[in-house]
Amino acid sequence: MITPESFVDGSERGEQVALFAWAGLNQHLYPQLKWLYAIPNANSHRMVAEGVRAGVSDVFLPWPNIAVGNHGASGLYIEMKTEKRRNQKNGGLSQDQIDFIDYATKAGYKCHVCYSWIEAKKAIEEYLNG
C-alpha cells in the first residue's frame, strides 16, 4: 500500500506529494480535501504571461472557516518548505512569499508555513476542526 511517508525524500516536492497522498486517503473524514490543490510556481516567462505569480503559496484549501480568529478565514494557504529551511533567514521564505502571506492574511485568509507534510496535515486538520 502506498502511504504518504513513501513519497518523503527530503525535498519540498516530496513533502507536498506526501500531503496530497494523505489528503486523498482522508477525504472520507474531510470531504473538503477533494478541492485541496497545488499552485504552480512562476518559473518561466510563459507561466508569468499565463498569470502565475511568484510568491503565491504552494497549496490552497478553498473552504471558509468562521471559527478561525475573530473574523474567520476565507480559505487556507500553505507554503511548503523543507525542514532544513526552518532556521534560515525568514524561515527560508523569499520576499515575494513574505509579501503574499502578508497580503493574503490581511485579505482574510489563514496562512501557514509548514516544514513537513505532517505540519501541513496538522494545519489543515486544525483549520477544518475549528
* In the predicted structure, residue 1 carries a pLDDT above the cut 90: no
Does residue 35 lie in a domain region?
yes
* Residue numbers of the domain that contains 28: 10-125
**Considering its fold, how many domains does the chain have in total?**
1
Question: Which three cell numbers mark 86?
Answer: 526552518
Does residue 59 lie in a domain region?
yes
> Among residues 53, 56, 59, 69, which one has the least CA distance to residue 119?
59
> Among residues 51, 34, 33, which one has the least CA distance to residue 42?
51
Query: At 89, phi and psi to the nearest 5?
Result: -55, 130
Does residue 116 lie in a domain region?
yes
Does residue 32 lie in a domain region?
yes
Does residue 2 lie in a domain region?
no
Does residue 115 lie in a domain region?
yes
pLDDT in tens, 98-110: 999 999 999 999 9
For residue 76, give the H/E element and its range: strand 76-80
- Here the CATH number for the domain that contains residue 85 is 3.40.1350.10
Does residue 85 lie in a domain region?
yes
Does residue 1 lie in a domain region?
no
Average pLDDT over residues 6-27: 93
Round to whole Å and give the CA distance between 39 and 98: 16
Average pLDDT, the chain: 91
